[in-house]
Chain A
Amino acid sequence: MAATLQRVLVIMPARNEAGRVGAVIAAARAVLPGADIAVINDGSTDATAQEAAAAGAVILPHAVSLGYGAGLETGYLHAMRQGYDAVLQMDSDGQHLASELPKLCAPLAADAADIVLGSRYLAGGRFPISPLRRLGQRFFALLLRVLTGQRFTDPTSGFQGLNRRALRFFASGVFPCDYPDADVLLMAHLAGLRIREVPVRMAGRTGGASMHAGWRPLYYGMKMLLSLFIVLLNIHIWWTWRRRHAAAGGSGGTSACSGDN
């Protein structure tokens, strides 16, 4: 059954992305003219907020930097409060291509998934990242497969689409603030949310600082292992949510995901 996606919000956490964020917003507006765009300015010290506002985005300012996960959570809370039907999240550094946004939207509009994950590897694509990070991605993909029985090719992808049901779950205070990746997918799976991967193309970073730079991949690996363990220990919370929020289908209607709105 098709779901009504009349109001779609594109959220972009951004920290010191001046010189890039404006072009990303312009590209997203061109692809999805019916969607609203919100930039979560995570304590930037450059002109990120001004550039994003000039490009037509709503600015959600963090007075101090709270991290990528907290930025996403702010976007989810805004979307819940404003009654959006779906959220599409993408990076503001140009790595996630706006032209791929409709691919995230389609399964949500068709009510075929609650969470759509843009995978750069699903179609057999290659992406220029360090061997250590690729090894980590493969390890956590394997771990997720064992724990969920579902195949994920790109569990660290932040290029995602969420419908209202997933939004309600993530805005309920369970969302981790640093490196929300495989642990989020596991808790969403245990909470009964339907997750689906779609193949997308991504570009390399054109500047700025990666949140996986330096020694951070090592911390990321340790943190993610512990976080997955904690998610499993809290399984009763996800199962309770699953029981209380049974899948609810939508009805057909116009969609803000289409490019001709």
Chain B
Amino acid sequence: MPMRRFLSFRDFDWGLLGVILVLCTVSVLEIYSATLHTKFLGFHQRQILWISGGMVVMFALSRVDYHRLLDFAPWAYGVFLVLVAAVLVPGIGHKALGGRRWIKLGPILFQPSEWMKLILILMVARYFANLGGKRLTWPDIFKAFAMVGIPMLLVLKEPDLGTALTFAPILVAGLFLGGINLRQGLILIVAGIALIGGVWSSGKLLKPYQKARLTSFINPQDDPRGSGYQVLQSKIAVGSGGIWGKGAAKGTQTQGYFLPIPYTDFIFAAFSEEHGFVGAVFVLLLYFFILMRLIQNAQTAADLPGSLIIMGVVAVLTFQIMVNVGMVIGFMPVTGIPLPLMSYGGSSVLFTFLALGVAMNVRMRRFVN
């Protein structure tokens, strides 16, 4: 048993929390601006509630030793694997927005796939920590693939492409940091490309609209009203913002409903339109600071599982930021991945704060062991 030693909130990463709160403030203001003339006015207040709730669970989670979380992880993994599968059963899964992703628990909707993300971070950290930095054998690699792949396929089936894709960087980070060698890495990359090609052409795993969303970003003008419309309008919003932006609540793309869902997935486009290149780079700098700070925490972590947990969080956040901002500026297809700490939405906010809570947890215990 680990020794109970002095644990202090002085070791909590207050600087990181400060930057996170700056980003949350930007988020609330932009949600307000983007919903100003819509029936969604008031979402910014709900976002404040979500953030407050997120902070509470973050502090709560940081109190629990992450080693206990790692002990607990396999059980949670088993339960949530069942829940993610259960979502697909029509009687249990609640259908909304074209996907069967939720389980209804009384008045609240509960999305098991979001929790699965957090559990996978812990599971992957635990798995590779147990391997202890030894050379990975192929069976080791396949076990890791199965661990992440099974829930991923289930979530893809919901269908929820965005969340399913978010599972992938956890595995990639685990494999990279867990000691995969160059040859194995190359073989996996080639196999991955072949697999993606197979999935694409089989036409079974991906719904047609998902495929369309993935391709239309390459040439949005082909179908300006369909999937490409969103990418085109997003690029127009970002581009027309110029260097200084059009001013808060003055974005014509945002205020004229040309920009799709400007308070969730396309909030970065709305922000870039109204605050320009300067504002957009400022937000990216905040993210850069957060990610660098987390990696620094991973470096100073007390042990290997702690480092791996933080790097899992870094992997998910980095992936989400890259894919979301990449989508907004036309580099990436529309996948429905929200921008962490910016996009409106309870699930996204709660997951991000939980993930950050786990990372804080590790940092606070850097002197413990």
Q: A and B: real partners?
A: no
Where the two chains meet, the residues of A that have a C-beta atom closer than 8 Å to any C-beta of B are none
Where the two chains meet, the residues of B that have a C-beta atom closer than 8 Å to any C-beta of A are none
